[in-house]
């Protein structure tokens, strides 16, 4: 859901169901009170007020804005607690939209320190683009110093590293320097306790990922965003053991491998994910040079856009070979050349090797 529709949906749910609504917040409402303490008047013939009196009322855009601002700041789940459909005067929309945009921008500015859990090729690639292109401070955490040393090699020296990228003209010197200087490596979970965004990139094992997030939940600060780089596990399943409050900050961020070359990023939201958090993840990805697709989590399935489409195509490619219509090499050649796929079904590689 876009920011405009998110904000206007909030306003609609906070105004009267019929005719004009007057929205306000109780002066005695404590800062962390539940949303039910928000007071809103209704002027409607359905409640016994004369229709003429109801029509004489005018919407209060400042009141609607104040209520929405309060809701956005506290990140209350309006859709859950206010169920009945409402209408909002168009006069309120510009006010609500202006604040919603500013609120997202302010949250994006709050993302300064990113943690990557799990090194190697994938974790190193994520750290490289977030530090080099995004300008973020990045901490990579893994279990052994050997893995951390290999990750540092991935970022700097190896095939997709910044050294070769500069030599090939794919990366500026300043960006390469940021990727080297802004990435730190640690064995201690305490070093990522204050990170604003934590991207998990451990091996693709469901129980391992669940264990990692459950452990993190009791260590990192309350407003940190949790993101999994899973290639297909249901995000809600990964968030199973975290606190209820944390689930709103839990999303998926699926990067394509090799990360420095493949610019695609899928941002996956669950039913419990705060839409604002997904928008922040999208903005972070775009700042790091990614092209972002927004995806909804679907229990009972594996994969999001890329892997599900590729799996379907791979099944058809295998059927073509099994039917004797073409060799594996010719199928790969057709997809690499005719569809510009950098990696094909049977192990052949095209565009990736030629780019860097």
- In the listed set 91, 109, 127, which residue is the last one of a domain according to the structure? 109
Report pLDDT for 125: 97
* Alpha-carbon gap, residue 58 to 19, rounded angstroms: 10
In a shared domain, residues 69 and 186: no
Residue 269 tokens, joined: 């939201």
Of the residues 45, 257, 293, 307, which is catalytic?
307
* Alpha-carbon gap, residue 115 to 185, rounded angstroms: 10
Nearest CA among 295, 225, 300, 232 for reference residue 266: 295
Residue 245 tokens, joined: 């409050």
In a shared domain, residues 271 and 349: no
Instruction: Give yes or no: 266 in active site.
Output: yes
- What is the pTM for the complete model shown? 0.69
Residue 90 tokens, joined: 């168009």
b/e 318-342 (16+ beta carbons within 10 angstroms → b): eebbeeeeeebeebbeebbeeeebb
Give me the residue label for tokens 């073509």.
320
Report pLDDT for 303: 83
Which residues, other chains included, contact 125 with Cβ-Cβ below 8 Å and sequence gap of 6+?
154, 160, 255, 257, 258, 259, 260
Report pLDDT for 244: 86
**What's the CATH number where 206 sits?**
3.40.50.720
In a shared domain, residues 26 and 125: no
In a shared domain, residues 318 and 271: no
Report pLDDT for 61: 52
Residue 259 tokens, joined: 């990360």
Count of domains forming the chain: 3
Of the residues 224, 228, 229, 231, which is catalytic?
231
Helix (H/G/I), strand (E/B), else coil: 93 = helix
- In the listed set 46, 78, 109, which residue is the last one of a domain according to the structure? 109
Instruction: Give yes or no: 340 in active site.
Output: no
Report pLDDT for 94: 55
Instruction: Give yes or no: 113 in active site.
Output: no
b/e 294-311 (16+ beta carbons within 10 angstroms → b): bbebeeeeebbebbeeee
Please list the pLDDT of the chain residue by residue as tens digits (356 residues): 455 555 555 555 544 332 233 333 333 334 444 433 333 333 333 444 444 444 444 445 555 555 555 555 444 344 333 333 333 444 454 555 555 555 555 466 789 999 999 999 999 999 999 999 999 999 999 999 999 999 999 999 998 999 999 998 989 999 999 999 999 999 999 999 999 999 999 999 999 999 999 999 989 998 899 999 998 899 999 999 999 889 999 999 999 989 999 999 999 999 999 998 999 999 999 999 999 999 999 888 888 998 898 889 889 999 999 999 999 999 988 988 888 887 777 875 444 444 44
Report pLDDT for 146: 96
* Alpha-carbon gap, residue 11 to 4, rounded angstroms: 11
Residue 301 lies in a domain: no
In a shared domain, residues 187 and 104: no
Of the residues 8, 182, 254, 273, which is catalytic?
254
In a shared domain, residues 314 and 167: no
In a shared domain, residues 103 and 124: no
Report how far Cα 325 is from the mean position of its chain's Cα atoms: 42
Report pLDDT for 37: 37
Instruction: Give yes or no: 32 in active site.
Output: no
Owning domain of residue 261: 111-296
Residues 252, 272: contact at Cβ < 8 Å?
no
In a shared domain, residues 190 and 330: no
In a shared domain, residues 169 and 310: no
- In the listed set 56, 78, 109, which residue is the last one of a domain according to the structure? 109
In a shared domain, residues 41 and 116: no
């Amino acid at each position: 859901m876009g920011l405009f529709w998110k904000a206007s949906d909030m306003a609609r749910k906070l105004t009267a169901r019929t005719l004009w609504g007057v929205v306000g917040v109780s002066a005695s409402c404590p800062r962390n009170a539940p949303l039910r303490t928000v007071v809103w008047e209704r002027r409607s013939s359905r409640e016994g007020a004369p229709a003429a009196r109801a029509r004489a009322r005018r919407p209060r855009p400042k009141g609607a804005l104040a209520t929405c601002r309060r809701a956005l700041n506290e990140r209350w789940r309006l859709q859950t607690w206010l169920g009945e459909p409402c209408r909002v005067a168009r006069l309120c929309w510009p006010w609500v939209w202006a604040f919603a945009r500013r609120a997202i921008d302010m949250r994006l500015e709050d993302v300064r320190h990113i943690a990557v859990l799990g090194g190697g090729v994938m974790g190193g690639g994520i750290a490289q683009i977030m530090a080099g292109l995004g300008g973020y401070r990045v901490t990579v955490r893994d279990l052994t110093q050997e893995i951390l040393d290999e990750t540092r090699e991935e970022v700097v020296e190896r095939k997709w590293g910044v050294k070769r990228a500069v030599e090939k003209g794919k990366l500026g010197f300043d960006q390469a320097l940021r990727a080297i200087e802004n990435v730190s490596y640690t064995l201690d979970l305490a070093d990522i306790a204050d990170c604003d965004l934590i991207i998990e990139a451990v091996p693709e094992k469901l129980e391992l990922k669940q264990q990692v997030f459950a452990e993190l939940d009791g260590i990192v600060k309350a407003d940190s965003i949790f993101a999994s780089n899973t290639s297909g596990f249901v995000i809600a399943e990964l968030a199973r053991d975290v606190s209820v409050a944390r689930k709103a900050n839990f999303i998926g961020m699926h990067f394509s491998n090799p990360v420095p070359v493949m610019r695609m990023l899928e941002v996956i939201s669950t039913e419990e994910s705060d839409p604002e958090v997904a928008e922040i993840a999208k903005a972070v990805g775009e700042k790091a040079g990614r092209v972002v697709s927004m995806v909804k989590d679907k229990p009972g399935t594996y994969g999001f856009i890329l892997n599900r489409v590729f799996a379907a195509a791979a099944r058809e490619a295998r059927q073509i070979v099994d039917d004797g219509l073409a060799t594996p090499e010719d199928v790969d050649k057709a997809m690499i050349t005719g569809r510009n796929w950098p990696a094909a079904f049977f192990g052949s590689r095209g565009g990736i090797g030629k780019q860097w």
